[in-house]
């Protein structure tokens, strides 16, 4: 089993959103990766600059951070060839590691653009080292920059940042400081290739919470009526927990609920409804144990949302 720590650099439309290609808002221009064995010893590295096909100039905001010259890219490898070489280099069995949750998704979107998504069948399980860093050294929720984490762990910064191979190197060095047990029970799943049918729905148990990804729905309204979507099971014993606060929608369009497991206490549910590129919808639900105080905070939040909505309604009646 190879551990592949990779990092991508991408470009976006130099003319802004108007001239952006909807199917490929971010075009990958560099792949950098280090390979490790299961003992986390580095065995090899990989780097390709990619010749752009969609955007013909580097967007200013990208240029500021990554320092790649457009003329160097013109000598790069076309994306289809570069990813073929990359997957061949990864070997027959590998696990992906990245800093943050964006790279795995953008890799798939670029593969789809070139009709090569079969190279990486989804949903893709991977390890987000930014999340692992937070779980191992902080509160599990905070997300730090790569440079912050490198400083925190006194990793010598001799390679600069924001070039794919250097960033993959730092991510790998950070990974090496984390115990294998902590790594292996905290995988992530990318659902860019989301479940289509009931039988493909995803249920995962993490040490402190459960995650569920539903199948696709044509109507957004129907999702919350689905029994599997709106169910609230305790993440520890997996028995139904009794609803104390029904699903309500908060200010960031996320549904929240509070339930009670007789054995394990309060369970907070969160549901995010996501839209696919084909304008269908699916739900991502998490259920985690919370304290009585956190449960009460959720109740207060619902009450103040209700009051505000009520006031708005009265104002519009008066007008």
Residues within the interface to Zn ion (CB under 5 A): 234, 236-237, 261, 263-264
Q: Which residue has the closest beta carbon to Zn ion? A: 234
Nearer to Zn ion, 36 or 234 (CB): 234
Q: Which is nearer to Zn ion, 111 or 245 (CB)?
A: 245
- Least distance from C-beta 242 to Zn ion, angstroms? 11
Beta strands in the chain (DSSP E): 2-12, 26-36, 42-51, 77-78, 94-98, 124-128, 188-190, 202-205, 209-213, 242-249, 255-261, 265-275, 281-290
Q: Toward Zn ion, which CB reaches closer, 142 or 237? A: 237
Beta carbon of residue 264, minimum distance to Zn ion (angstroms, whole number): 4
Q: Between residues 157 and 238, which has the closer beta carbon with respect to Zn ion?
A: 238
* CA distance linking residue 106 with residue 112, whole number of Å: 10
Which of 220, 221, 219, 201 has its CA nearest to residue 211? 201
Provide the minimum distance between the beta carbon of 292 and Zn ion in the complex, in angstroms, as a whole number. Answer: 15
Assess contact for 39 and 58: CB atoms under 8 A.
no
Residues 6+ apart with CB under 8 A from 190: 101, 104, 105, 108, 122, 123, 124, 125, 126
Measured from the CB atom, the residue of 157 and 242 that comes closer to Zn ion is 242
Q: In whole angstroms, how close is the CB of 290 to Zn ion at the nearest point?
A: 13
Picking from 294, 267, 275, the residue whose alpha carbon sits closest to that of residue 208 is: 267
* DSSP reduced 3-state for 19: helix
- Write down the least CB distance from residue 248 to Zn ion, Å: 23
């Amino acid at each position: 089993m190879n551990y592949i720590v990779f990092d991508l650099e991408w470009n976006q439309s130099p003319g802004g959103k108007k001239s952006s290609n909807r199917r490929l808002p971010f075009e990958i221009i560099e792949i950098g990766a280090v390979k490790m064995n299961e003992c986390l010893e580095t065995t090899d590295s990989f780097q390709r600059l990619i010749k752009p096909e969609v955007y013909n100039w580097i967007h200013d905001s990208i240029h500021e951070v990554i320092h790649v010259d457009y003329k160097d890219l013109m000598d790069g490898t076309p994306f289809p060839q570069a990813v073929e070489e990359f997957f061949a280099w990864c070997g027959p069995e590998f696990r992906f590691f990245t800093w943050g949750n964006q790279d795995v998704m953008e890799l798939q979107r670029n593969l789809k653009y070139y009709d090569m998504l079969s190279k990486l069948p989804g949903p893709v399980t991977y390890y987000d080292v930014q999340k692992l860093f937070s779980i191992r050294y902080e509160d599990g929720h905070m997300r730090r920059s790569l440079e912050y984490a490198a400083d925190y762990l006194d990793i010598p910064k001799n390679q600069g940042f924001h070039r794919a191979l250097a960033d993959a190197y730092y991510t790998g060095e950070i990974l090496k400081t984390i115990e294998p047990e902590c790594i292996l029970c905290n995988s992530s799943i990318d659902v860019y290739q989301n479940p289509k049918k009931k039988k493909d729905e995803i249920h995962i148990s993490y040490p402190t919470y459960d995650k569920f990804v539903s199948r696709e729905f044509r109507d957004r309204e129907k999702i919350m009526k689905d029994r599997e979507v709106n169910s609230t099971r305790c993440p520890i014993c997996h028995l139904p927990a009794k609803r104390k606060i029904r699903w309500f929608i908060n200010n960031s369009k996320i549904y929240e609920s509070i339930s009670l497991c007789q054995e394990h206490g309060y369970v907070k549910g969160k549901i995010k409804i996501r839209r696919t590129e084909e304008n269908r919808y699916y739900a991502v639900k998490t259920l985690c144990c919370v304290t009585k105080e956190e449960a009460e905070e959720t109740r207060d939040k619902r009450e103040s949302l209700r009051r505000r909505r009520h006031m708005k309604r009265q104002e519009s009646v008066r007008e």
